[in-house]
Structure 1
Amino acid sequence: MESLYNNRTELIAPTESSLSAVLILKELVCDDVGVYRCWVDYFSKNRNYELTSLSTVALKATKPSNFGVFPYELQENQTLTLSCSAYVGAPNGNIKIWKIARNSTTNVLIFTANTSDFKTENCSEFINATFTYTVSRDDNGAMFLCSSQNVLNEDEGPSLESQIRVSVKYGPGKPSIVLTPNKSSYYVGEDIRLQCVSDSNPPYNITWSFLPFNHSTESSVFSYEIELKLKDIQLENAGNYTCTAVNEISTNNNTAVINVKEPLENNKRTIFSCDQCGFSEICEKKNGEEYCVTSPWMFVAIIFIFLCALFFVAIYFLRRVHRKSILHKSSTKKTSPRPESLPLDSPHHPSESAGLLSESGIPILGPTPDDTEAGYSTPKDVREMHEQSAMLPPPDERAEITTTCNQENTQYAEVQKKQQTENVYDPDWNENELVNLAPEPNILNLI
């Protein structure tokens, strides 16, 4: 090792003005490339110290001189050949190949070629690498890049990009059918939009075909547009709608099932089980589906309850109006004026009451409270009874008195059977003049 550096090195020791130790290599050769360590042993404060550091002697990598991609056009799953050559410097030089996807700025490493034992006259390592890469449809539109680096730039050194993007041809993928609105079934009269979406290079063509549910073999082709519109669908529009995507590479298809059924009535709703029906609903089955239908008796019950409530409210207000009317009439009667006079022959004239007065001095138009046998007799009857009792014979004529009393009782009984038409409440009379209908004691018993 000493012979390698004889007469080519110069060591500058630390001095008072500079504490750095410097090693100078002269007339460099390839073997001078490597890592150097500096070791310092010094004494301070009665102690020995050691200090080491590393230093690398390297040659820079240069930009690749050649980078080829072949072919630029190929089909999916075919092989792409990439070749790159560059002076990668020293030590530990290598070549890396990167892929930049379409619509992306991120480099993805796909290949690395390490150095060999071949060194040039200036000690720089040279690499010529070839790499094969199987493409996929995701590589369509991608670019590739080759870079050279060593220990000085381990991640990515000087690079060279391909000038043309790769075109990868592939057939349509399985089409995706988008339904608008997206439902499991549709009702008669609805509109549906079906859109068929796929991906291919070159672009694909679309064919729509229809197979009704009541046919098992034949399907009819009726559209070549990406979007299919069905307006005012009917029951016969139910079936399988197949979208077929075609290009020069391959063909692919997908099928959407359209179920069409009659519209539900306003009082129906679709369910999975009859257990979901409420207390006011009944379960019906139609076309293999179950529906909850509002019971018609529920409307009858609601109307009946409403009419009953309306009837009771009307009765209540009519009774209140009637009661107010009666109270109004009663107050009107109490304020009506008393007649100035009555005819003398009127049965209601005070003279006809045989001089009977109440405790307050008001003439009584009927029997007095003491006349318990008068019943419903008129004042005129009471007066006749007084007159006849005044003409009774002396006490020694008992037989005739008995006969007279019997006659009077008979006459009184007949009076009780008469229709009481005279002792009627007169609305024009003051309330204080009402006839007192309480029974009075029999006048004969008082004699």
Structure 2
Amino acid sequence: MTKLYNSALHAVVLWCALVLTTAETGLVRNSSAVRGAVAPEASRTGNRRLLAVTSTVDSTVVEGRNVTLSCVVPDVTNTTKVKWVGPTVNRVLSINRHAMSRRFFVSGNETEGEFNLLVSSVVQADDGTYDCRAGKTFYASTRLKVLTEAGTPVISGVKWPLVEGARVTLSCRCHGGLPQPSLHWTLGSLQQPSQEVSSSHHDLTITTDLHVTRQHNGAMLSCTADQGQPDLLPPKTASLTMIVLYPPVVSVVIHPQDARVGDDVIVTCVVDSNPPVKITWKRQVQGRNVAMATTGTTAIFLRNVTKRDNGSYICHAKNNIGTSSGSGVIFVKEQV
């Protein structure tokens, strides 16, 4: 009887393959094909015979998704017990068609010897090595790596808007993630220097220091969390548009510059400011500044100018951050 049993058992061919499935593209990756087959002469380990199984690279799945582990045992008999064991040492997950947990389900064509183990709603504890065992002698192993998605970064540390000249420190915090993400700052299209201030199993926080200028107004400040698995876990970014208040800078432009008697001249006040400014105009005549009736406009239109229009035109701009002035000179020449 013993010889007949050993002969039947040696005829069992075990094929174990890790097949990852998901309803969402990109959340499961199989880094290489995984196959199992009986070697011409199986090597002995203690009282067990180890099948030659090709399973060279880990496969990965994102926590919360479903995974199917496929096991095929050709020529299975009514007396053959097929077990799934793992990832905890000697933890039996299923015996033949009976699963030990509601999260596990055994499926497949029984007449073809298929004992596929579906693991639903994968959790971090499912990470590890799985054995599909036929009887007490044959088994094949494959490894499942479970990744956990990190949270979206959160930027904090300042109250908007900021005023030009301020020096501020901003913080970026990211919760969770396996592998732990790396964080980095970008300002516009350029990477911003950062300092790591705290790191734990669940959280990572970095900061960046800014000397605020008017050029930062409207710029996009971003903090990105990257777990190094772009196919499975795309980087997550938190962004905000910087709002910077600053006093006006004023220049006066005169067109044309070489006006002659009878020409039309435009005097324009060009202002860079945030928030917007209130504009007043003055004209300097014989050393005296005379208010003009064009308050609030950014341009003065002078038609059919004469030499009486000669002089310095002053634009005064004011907002709640500061004031500034600029001037331009008109010198009308006689017609040639």
TM, length-normalised to structure 2: 0.51
Question: 1:169 pairs with 245, 254, 260, which one?
Answer: 245
Per-residue CA distance 1:228-266 (angstroms, 9 max, x = gap): 1212222222222222222222222222221112211xx
- Give the partner amino acid of 1:189: G
* CA distance in 1: counterparts of 2:324 and 2:314, whole angstroms: 10
Describe how 1:250-261 pairs up with structure 2 within 5 A: 250-261=322-333
User: 2:307 is matched with which residue?
Assistant: 235
Q: Is residue 206 from structure 1 mapped to residue 282 from structure 2 by the alignment?
A: no
Q: Which digits, 9 at most, give the CA deviation of each residue in 1:303-325, with x for residues without a partner? A: xxxxxxxxxxxxxxxxxxxxxxx
Aligned residue runs from structure 1 range 144-155, under 5 A: 144-153=221-230
Pick the aligned partner of 1:71 from 134, 159, 163.
Answer: 159
Q: Does 1:158 pair with 2:158? A: no
What code does the residue aligned with 1:167 have? I
Going from structure 1 to structure 2, the CA distance change for 1:115 and 1:198 (only over 3 Å counts) comes to: closer
Q: Contact 1:97 / 1:111 at 8 angstroms: preserved in 2? A: yes
* Deviation of the 1:171 alpha carbon: 0.8
Which whole-Å deviations, capped at 9, do the CAs of 1:42-91 have from their partners, x for residues lacking one? xxxxxxxxxxxxx9978455023643252112211213442222246455
Counterparts of 1:153 and 1:23 in 2: how far apart (Å)?
A: 18
> Is 1:197 matched with 2:274?
no
Q: For residue 178 of structure 1, what is the aligned residue in structure 2?
A: 253
Superimposed CA distance per residue, residues 177-220 of structure 1 (whole angstroms, 9 cap, x where no aligned partner):
3333x23x2222222111111121111122222224xx3x3221
1:262 matches 2:296: no
- Richer in helix (by share): 1
Write the distance in 2 (CA, Å) between the matches of 1:149 and 1:115. 18
Looking at structure 2, the residues matched to 131 and 158 of structure 1 have their Cα atoms a distance apart, in angstroms, of 18
* Conservation of the 8 A alpha-carbon contact between 1:244 and 1:251: yes
Kindly indicate whether residue 169 of structure 2 is the aligned counterpart of residue 135 of structure 1: no
Q: Provide the alpha-carbon RMSD of the alignment.
A: 4.0
State how far apart, in whole Å, the 2-side matches of 1:161 and 1:16 are: 56
Q: Check 1:219–1:85 CA distance in 2 against 1; reply closer, same or farther (3 A cut).
A: same
Asked whether 1:248 is paired with 2:320, we answer: yes
Cα deviation code 1:111-153 (max 9, x no counterpart): 4455977435xxxxx3123333232223224454332223324
Gapped runs of 5+ residues in structure 1?
A: 1-11, 34-54, 101-106, 121-125, 265-447
CA distance in 2, matches of 1:119, 1:94: 13
Q: Report if aligned partners of 1:210, 1:239 keep a CA contact under 8 Å in 2.
A: yes
Check 1:208–1:158 CA distance in 2 against 1; reply closer, same or farther (3 A cut). Answer: same
Q: How many angstroms apart in 2 are the aligned matches of 1:156 and 1:132?
A: 27
Report if the CA contact (8 A) 1:94-1:114 is conserved: no
Pick 1 or 2: higher relative contact order, CA cutoff 8 A, min separation 6.
2
* Superposition pairs of residues 293-312 of structure 1, within 5 angstroms: none
- 2:308 match: secondary structure: helix
Unaligned 5+ segments in structure 2 are: 1-34, 41-51, 59-85, 90-123, 128-142
Q: Which letter does structure 2 place at the counterpart of 1:74? A: L
Residue correspondence of structure 1 range 6-405 to structure 2 within 5 A: 20-22=54-56, 26-27=87-88, 59-64=147-152, 66-87=154-175, 89=177, 93-99=181-187, 108-112=190-194, 118-119=200-201, 126-153=203-230, 157-162=235-240, 165-175=241-251, 177-180=252-255, 182-183=256-257, 185-212=258-285, 215=286, 217-222=287-292, 223-224=294-295, 225-264=297-336
Question: Does the 8 A contact of 1:188 with 1:260 survive in 2?
Answer: yes
Paired positions, count:
211
The structural deviation recorded for 1:227 is 1.1
Change (3 A) 1:77 1:218: same
Q: Distance in 2 between matches of 1:115 and 1:15?
A: 54
5 Å-filtered alignment, 1:405-444, equals: none
Distance change in 2, residues 1:116/1:237 (3 Å): closer
Determine helix, strand or coil for the equivalent of 2:248.
coil
| Cα distance, 1:94 vs structure 2 | 1.6
Q: Does the CA-based 8 Å contact 1:71-1:81 persist in structure 2?
A: no
Amino acid at match of 1:84: C
Q: Secondary structure at the match of 1:138?
A: helix
Amino acid at match of 1:94: S
The structure in which a higher percent of residues are strand is 2
1:94–1:113 Cα contact (<8 Å) kept: no
Structure 1 CA distance for aligned equivalents of residues 248 and 174 of structure 2:
40
| Distance in 1 (alpha carbons) for counterparts of 2:180 and 2:319 | 49
Q: Secondary structure at the match of 2:262?
A: coil
Q: Distance in 2 between matches of 1:88 and 1:113?
A: 19
AA aligned to 2:275 is P
Q: CA deviation at 1:13?
A: 8.4
